Structure 1
Amino acid sequence: MTVKVVESQQELEDAYKVRKNVFVEEQHVPIEEEIDQFEQDAVHFVMYHEDMPIGAGRFRIIDGIGKVERICVLEESRKLGAGKAIMDSIETYALKNGIQKLKLNAQTHAIPFYEKIGFQVVSDEFMDAGIPHKTMMKNV
């Protein structure tokens, strides 16, 4: 498995393909909410396994804090360490760019995963795209 910072249109399309599969098809998030106005401002990440895109995520810097967004892995590739590999790549990218605090809005079922890699819940539960979330933060 390899995680890449998106550098080409094909890699971006691969990231979108994974996101659409997970969020739009599997979780029924409306496409207009999934692909939003922040796509142009984000650094995108895509994970490949044997040349097939299996994971994705994006990263933005907002007020000096790294905002981790749209982390997803295809269902058949979960539990293989793919999510952690994507998060490790984003953390490395953040540190290289002088960012030492990360923030994300986690779906509540994913909170244990994020806690294992050092994130802490900092908000009450809220709904986003019809799915319960909590905000989490981490110092890197």
Structure 2
Amino acid sequence: MAGSEGALQVELVAADRTVWSGHATMVIARTVEGDVGILRGHAPLLSLLTDAVVEITDEEGDVVVAAVDGGFLSVAADRVSILSERAVLAEEIDIDAARAELERVPDGEIAEGETERRIRRAEVRIRAAEKAR
């Protein structure tokens, strides 16, 4: 797309950095209400994200894959903001470390909800890394 006139302006932001910013043709994310696909002209939206994989198709057709630890998704006037406490691009994920994290989750040493969250986050990172291969 020449000039980015037909594109979405997308920002994927973690608490400590901008993870990805640019123009895209499509964004796919998982909210607490289910998966959502966003194209140009999408209705305004504000939703909670779950721990999941986010896919951003850039203007050249390449797919940027990231793992997010929940957060918020905002869509307005062809601008998409994805805000998460932690977000990491798939190519930054050490898949062996994520698999090891699944094996290290201690039984009974962490509150049940926290154990489930650690497992879910490790699984999301593995899915993101495998999807980007």
TM-score of the superposed pair, with normalisation by structure 2: 0.26
Structure with the higher helix share, 1 or 2 = 1
Bigger Rg, structure 1 or 2? 2
Taking structure 1 as the reference length, the TM-score comes to 0.25
More strand by proportion, 1 or 2? 2
Structure possessing the higher relative contact order (Cα contacts under 8 Å, 6 or more residues apart) = 2
